[in-house]
Amino acid sequence: MELDSKCPTGPIETRWDRHRFSLKLVNPANKRKHTILVVGTGLAGGSAAASLAELGYNVKCFCFQDSPRRAHSIAAQGGINAAKNYHNDGDSVYRLFYDTVKGGDFRARESNVYRLAQISLNIIDQCVAQGVPFAREYSGYLDNRSFGGAQVSRTFYARGQTGQQLLLGAYQALERQIGAGTVEMFPRTEMLDLIVIDGHARGIVTRNLMTGRIESHLGDAVVLGTGGYGNVYYLSTNAKGSNATAIWRAHKRGALFANPCFTQIHPTCIPVSGDYQSKLTLMSESLRNDGRVWVPAKTGDTRPASQIPEDERDYYLERRYPSFGNLVPRDVASRNAKTVCDEGRGVGETKLAVYLDFRDAIDRLGKHTIKERYGNLFDMYERIAGEDPYQAPMRIYPAIHYTMGGLWVDYNLMSTIPGLYVIGEANFSDHGANRLGASALMQGLADGYFVLPNTINDYLATSKLEKADTSHAAVRDAEEQVVQTTSKLLHNKGTRSVDSFHRELGKLMWDYCGMSRTAEGLKTALAQIPGLREQYWQEVKVLGSGEELNQSLERAGRVADFFELAELMCLDALERNESCGGHFREEYQTPEGEAARDDAHYSYGAAWEFRGVGERPALHKEPLAFEYVHPAQRSYK
């Protein structure tokens, strides 16, 4: 299969404009004749559904929550990047582009990243116009703070609730269209399969989560904005409901899955505290603007933080990376936390934690200012950890947070199935092997508000789509498969809970395909996952029935997909014999312990084709070319 990225060529500054001009339009009267199915109401799906409806298309929009405004995007804390250069501190579209390509360890497409940096400016204007209450300075200008991997302040924020405020903006825009009758909203509805007719994505099969009713919806294009798959690890900072089912089932219908092993481990999360924990909590990266990360200089030092004198503390990020200090990118900060803990210098009961200390910032700025900046995060920490972070340093440890992998898409955001578009965290994105903080919200909104509404017209204007109806064999077949899988799960005579399997899979993934990976460990995981998957289908027990709200059943289907996806992630990680960004293979590191890329052999996007459960998928490679930011060893020293 030839992967055509459709990336424009020529001067990078004008690629998007020239490309947009080359795309065909659909005239306003004809837009009304098209129906677009949008799955997801997070920042990506919500903004796309609202924008497509505003353009004049009929939109059907789906989410599994009871309201579109409960999508996982609501949890985003720290902020959203944009190259506005309000601080006049040297920022520019080009610098955001440069930082993102470098931060992603040279595993993203330059054309996409440049477009993202350009559009970042429009996003802020649009959100302000919607009334999103970004933090402001005394002068009235929007305030900015810094995030990892950048030496400028370009992160716009609304306290520690940026995702919530942005989502309320997108949700209002969506509600307006629902009110106008241009969007038909289906909450509590889960997409369980993709309908492909004559090679084109034409619909989805859904299950009503309240009644169990299985239904098909047909249209002219399908958009997936269904979020990331970090919950394959069981413990992650993602919302409990976040899952891979929509993209995985589309993958099984022919959409290639790219870079599945590129996962992001966030350095500042509240550490795991026991075997029965089901969720990890993020402490936003914004805290590293003022918090200093340290561990005791000596191994086995059990004194409380307050009794460890200054010269016996190791501010290891400031020591090793003097230019970026505590604001090194996430992959670098996470790996260093692991290293100091592996050396026996971790703190707290489990010794799997490092300190994030605000003592100096409080002395310098006063408690009031710190409270104003991070008050809700400090309260959240105190409620969970039982310690007052104004008095004692926070204890933090890396945790699974974000997935850079996802369905492969071209420059138009179309997958390898014509008519199937993938946006936001669900696609394999512009972040390469490591996403910079505050860039996911930027990408989701860029895709939904600005890119897709331009590119989808071209497909609709140029495709000859026959009218499809629900009697079509492809519809019947997809529905039948959904009915069978649901029934199999409900009637299985096993004895083990879905969660017990999920926890076991998650531990396997964390141990062998987590923060650091080895060929041997990945082979171990690949040897164990199929057996565990078989066992799952033999021994899982799903309580309740299919005709009522049954969250055990919902989870059972999602965990079944996680088993298959986990295998692909390990295979991808094993195949990539290099370290880059969040993918750290212990065999490939520099003498200083940094990731060692192998550009000669691995400068490509790995796009996998499904060949059957348990069958080896086929690997297709999209070569990456760097004309502007030349690949070099990333240095934050």
Ligand X SMILES: Cc1cc2nc3c(=O)[nH]c(=O)nc-3n(C[C@H](O)[C@H](O)[C@H](O)COP(=O)(O)OP(=O)(O)OC[C@H]3O[C@@H](n4cnc5c(N)ncnc54)[C@H](O)[C@@H]3O)c2cc1C
Is 194 a binder of ligand X (CB under 6 A)?
Answer: no
> Which listed residue (117, 123, 124, 246) binds ligand X by CB under 6 A?
246
3-state secondary structure of 605: strand
Distance (Å, rounded) from C-alpha 73 to C-alpha 279?
16
Question: What is the number of the residue whose Cβ is closest to ligand X?
Answer: 42
Q: x/- site string to ligand X, residues 426 to 445, per CB under 6 A?
A: x-----------xxxx--x-
> Which listed residue (91, 105, 190, 290) binds ligand X by CB under 6 A?
190
3-state secondary structure of 232: helix
Distance (Å, rounded) from C-alpha 276 to C-alpha 261?
26
Q: What are phi and psi of 219, to 5 degrees?
A: -165, -165
> Which listed residue (12, 26, 36, 39) binds ligand X by CB under 6 A?
39
Contact partners, residue 58, CB within 8 Å, separation at least 6: 32, 34, 35, 36, 182, 184
| Partners of 406 in beta bridges | 258
Question: What is 457-491 written as a DSSP string?
Answer: HHHHHH-------TTSHHHHHHHHHHHHHHHHHHH
- Residue among 40 and 149 whose Cβ is closer to ligand X: 40
| Positions 141 through 180 that interact with ligand X (CB under 6 A) | 162-163
Distance (Å, rounded) from C-alpha 620 to C-alpha 606?
6
3-state secondary structure of 546: coil
> Which listed residue (51, 58, 65, 126) binds ligand X by CB under 6 A?
65
Is 242 a binder of ligand X (CB under 6 A)?
Answer: yes
Please state the closest distance from residue 584 (CB atom) to ligand X, in A: 21
Is 43 a binder of ligand X (CB under 6 A)?
Answer: yes
- Stretch near ligand X under the rule CB under 6 A, chosen from 100-108, 242-250, 467-475, 616-624: 242-250
> Which listed residue (120, 182, 237, 416) binds ligand X by CB under 6 A?
237
- Residue among 237 and 579 whose Cβ is closer to ligand X: 237
- Residue among 338 and 401 whose Cβ is closer to ligand X: 401
> Which listed residue (45, 149, 169, 398) binds ligand X by CB under 6 A?
45
Please state the closest distance from residue 103 (CB atom) to ligand X, in A: 13
Q: How many angstroms separate the first and last alpha carbons of the chain? A: 42
3-state secondary structure of 401: strand
- Residue among 132 and 426 whose Cβ is closer to ligand X: 426
Distance of alpha carbon 447 from the chain centroid: 13
Is 413 a binder of ligand X (CB under 6 A)?
Answer: no
> Which listed residue (36, 59, 80, 400) binds ligand X by CB under 6 A?
80
- Residue among 41 and 486 whose Cβ is closer to ligand X: 41
Q: Tell me, what amino acid is at 454? A: N
Is 409 a binder of ligand X (CB under 6 A)?
Answer: no
Contact partners, residue 482, CB within 8 Å, separation at least 6: 192, 193, 205, 207, 214
Number of residues that bind ligand X (CB under 6 A): 45
- Say which residue the tokens 């402490």 belong to: 283
Please state the closest distance from residue 413 (CB atom) to ligand X, in A: 12
Q: What are phi and psi of 19, to 5 degrees?
A: -65, -45
> Which listed residue (50, 52, 59, 71) binds ligand X by CB under 6 A?
71
Is 44 a binder of ligand X (CB under 6 A)?
Answer: yes
- Stretch near ligand X under the rule CB under 6 A, chosen from 58-66, 137-145, 296-304, 523-531: 58-66
Please state the closest distance from residue 391 (CB atom) to ligand X, in A: 25
Distance (Å, rounded) from C-alpha 196 to C-alpha 556?
25
- Closest CA relative to residue 381, chosen from 228, 273, 515: 273
- Stretch near ligand X under the rule CB under 6 A, chosen from 56-64, 311-319, 346-354, 546-554: 56-64
Is 48 a binder of ligand X (CB under 6 A)?
Answer: no
Distance (Å, rounded) from C-alpha 259 to C-alpha 167?
28
Quote the tokens at residue 124.
């802020």
| Positions 439 through 478 that interact with ligand X (CB under 6 A) | 439-441, 444
Please state the closest distance from residue 311 (CB atom) to ligand X, in A: 35
Q: Quote helix, strand, coil % in the chain, to nearest 5.
A: 40, 15, 40
Quote the tokens at residue 26.
């659909």
Distance (Å, rounded) from C-alpha 455 to C-alpha 20?
7
| Partners of 35 in beta bridges | 58
Is 231 a binder of ligand X (CB under 6 A)?
Answer: no
Is 238 a binder of ligand X (CB under 6 A)?
Answer: yes
> Which listed residue (63, 194, 340, 341) binds ligand X by CB under 6 A?
63
- Stretch near ligand X under the rule CB under 6 A, chosen from 215-223, 237-245, 356-364, 407-415: 237-245
Instruction: List residues with catalytic annotation.
Output: 330
Angle at 459 between CA 458 and CA 464, to 5 degrees: 120
Please state the closest distance from residue 238 (CB atom) to ligand X, in A: 5
Distance (Å, rounded) from C-alpha 154 to C-alpha 94?
13
Please report, for residues 169, 290, 309, the alpha-carbon distance to residue 366 in angstroms, rounded to integers and kept in the order given: 33, 12, 22
> Which listed residue (31, 69, 401, 472) binds ligand X by CB under 6 A?
401
For ligand X, the binding residues (CB under 6 A) are 39-45, 62-65, 71-73, 75-80, 162-163, 190-191, 225-228, 237-238, 242-243, 245-246, 282, 401-402, 424-426, 438-441, 444
